[in-house]
Amino acid sequence: ATAGFLGVNVIGDPQLDADAAVNAATDLSESRLIELVRAGVGKRDLPVRIDGYSRWRAAANVARRLRDGRVFIAGDAAHLMPPNGGFGGNTGIHDAHNLAWKLALVIKGLAGSGLLDSYETERKPVAVFTVEQSFSRYVARTAPWLAARVQPAPLVDDLRIELGYLYDSPLGVHADPRSTCGAPGSRAPHLWLERRGQRVSTIDLAGGRYVLFAGGAGSAWADAAKEAANRRGGLPLDAYCIGRDLADPGAQFLPGFGISSSGASLVRPDGFVAWRCPDHATEPAAELHAALGASLKGSLTPGAQGK
Given a cut of 90, whether residue 239 has pLDDT beyond it is yes
Q: Quick one: pLDDT band at residue 296, thresholds 50, 70, 90?
A: very high
Assign 5 a pLDDT band (cuts: 50, 70, 90): low
Q: Which H, E and C letters describe the chain, residue by residue? A: CCCCCCCCCEECCCCCCCCCCEEHHHCCCHHHHHHHHHHHHCCCCCCCCCCCCCCCCCCCEECCCCEECCEECCHHHCEECCCCCCCHHHHHHHHHHHHHHHHHHHHCCCCCCHHHHHHHHHHHHHHHHHHHHHHHHHHHHCCHHHHHCCCCCCCCCHHHHHCCEEEEECCEEECCCCCCCCCCCCECCCCEEEECCEEEEHHHHCCCCEEEEECCCCHHHHHHHHHHHHHCCCCCEEEEEECCCEECCCCCHHHHHCCCCCCEEEECCCCEEEEEECCCCCCHHHHHHHHHHHHCCCCCCCCCCCC
Per-residue model confidence (pLDDT) at position 2: 64
Residue 27 scores a pLDDT above 50: yes
Does position 302 have pLDDT exceeding 80, yes or no? no
Q: Of 302 and 175, which is predicted with more confidence? A: 175
Give residue 307's pLDDT.
39
Residue-range domains of the chain with CATH: 1-56 (no CATH), 61-172 (3.50.50.60), 192-295 (3.40.30.120)
Residue 55: pLDDT band by 50, 70, 90 thresholds? confident
145 pLDDT tier (thresholds 50, 70, 90): confident
Specify the pLDDT at position 17: 60
Q: Calculate mean pLDDT across residues 141-165.
A: 92
- What's the mean pLDDT when you consider all of the chain? 90
pLDDT tens-digit readout, 171-225 = 999 999 999 999 999 999 999 999 999 999 999 998 889 999 999 999 999 999 9
- Per-residue pLDDT, averaged over 55-81, amounts to 95
Give the pLDDT band of residue 255 (cuts 50, 70, 90).
very high
Indicate the pLDDT class of residue 306, thresholds 50, 70 and 90.
very low
- Confidence band for 80, pLDDT divided at 50, 70 and 90: very high
The pLDDT score that the predictor gives to residue 182 is: 96
Position 279 scores a pLDDT of 95
